[in-house]
Structures are given as structure tokens and as C-alpha cells.
A and B are shown apart, each in its own frame.
Chain A
């Protein structure tokens, strides 16, 4: 079955860049997502990338996808204390019986120090 793995913790200083990594096992994954969860809150969709892309940039966020290695990363430039949260990587398929179902990684806790 599908498996999505993330490192559990990342600590950075305010103003530095953060890079959160994710690996997945299902080569038929169609979409890969990054969600942010702040304490006591639901999930906020940050960005997503289609599997035929290798990079996507959106303001301070850069997503890199290495499909050969099944590796996804999220880079946050100029990290702020408000970026402290749990970041989830997730994958889904565009068709078949798994259509729309998201498989999540275990989440990376990002702590930003002033």
C-alpha cells in the first residue's frame, strides 16, 4: 500500500530558510500536497504539485519533486515565527478506486526561534 514518510522535527532560526522533506512509495501518485496545521486548528492547504512537474513556486514557498527518487520537499524562505506549525505531506491519485483519497505523512513539527 501507499506509505508517506517525513522527518518528525525541524528547528530553524527566524529569517533562515526551512526545508521539510517527504518520501513516498506509490509511483502512481498523481498529486502531492503540503498542508499546514497550527495548534488547535484544522488543515490549511499550502500548495500542491502535479506529478508531471518538478518544481512549483508560490511566494515564499518552493516545492521540489524528484519523481525518480519519490522525494518531495517544501522550502519556506525567510521563515517567520508564524510559520511554526505541523506540516503534512500527502499524496493522492486522479483515478480508480483511490480517487481523491489522501494518504498523509506523520507530519513535521517546525519550530522557529527568534
Chain B
């Protein structure tokens, strides 16, 4: 199984600022994803992070608000831009390995926007 780490683990930010979350996998993976878990809710897919090309966003999520990078097969970043209190959530990175059809998740980044 892939081991996934995220930084930061939590942050408290001011309205109008931006935060970049990093996701590192300990092995090469085919697919990486970013999910959001709002307080008391389930997980919603934000986008698929594509290596070397633009991310593929789900309905309701746009690149200007959630720019994503994936420069190589083991690393991705998600930026939450121009934050508002409604962006307070846990943001989770996940990855699907080269020889597996299972998805593993990072520990999440707990974001609070004041």
C-alpha cells in the first residue's frame, strides 16, 4: 500500500488569503485526487490531479479557486484561493497505485478560515 503524507496537517487562515497544501506519496502512483470533507459531511471529489497537465475538475469546482499542480508521479499540491469561512473543511489527498485498484488517503489537512 502507498503511504501518503500531507502538509500542513492543520491551519487557521484569514479570509481573503490563500493556502497551499502539499501531498507526497512514497511510491509512484498512476492517479492522484483531491477531496473535500466539510464539517460533519462525507467526502466530495474536487479534482483529479494529472501529471504534467491541467487537473480535471468536478462540477462545482474551478481552477481559479482550487489550482492544482502535479509536477511528477509522487507529488501534488492543492491551493485554496481567496478563502472564505465556507472553505473551512478537511482537504484530503488520495492516490491509486500502479498495480492496484485501491485508493489510499493521506491524513488530511484541517483548514479553518476566520
- Where the two chains meet, the residues of A that have a C-beta atom closer than 8 Å to any C-beta of B are 30-31, 33, 35, 40-45, 48, 88, 92, 94, 99-107
Contacts of B107 in A (CB 8 A): 41-42
| CB-based contact A101/B48 at 8 Å | yes
Q: How far is the CB of B7 from chain A (nearest CB, A)?
A: 13
The number of A-B residue pairs with CB atoms under 8 Å apart is 56
Contacts of A35 in B (CB 8 A): 105
Contacts of A105 in B (CB 8 A): 42
Contacts of B53 in A (CB 8 A): none
B residues contacting the other copy or chain, number (CB 8 A): 24
A-B contact pairs, 25 of them (CB 8 A): A30-B101, A31-B102, A33-B102, A33-B103, A35-B105, A40-B110, A41-B108, A42-B106, A42-B107, A43-B43, A43-B108, A45-B1, A45-B105, A48-B101, A100-B30, A101-B33, A101-B48, A101-B58, A102-B33, A102-B94, A102-B103, A104-B42, A104-B43, A105-B42, A106-B41
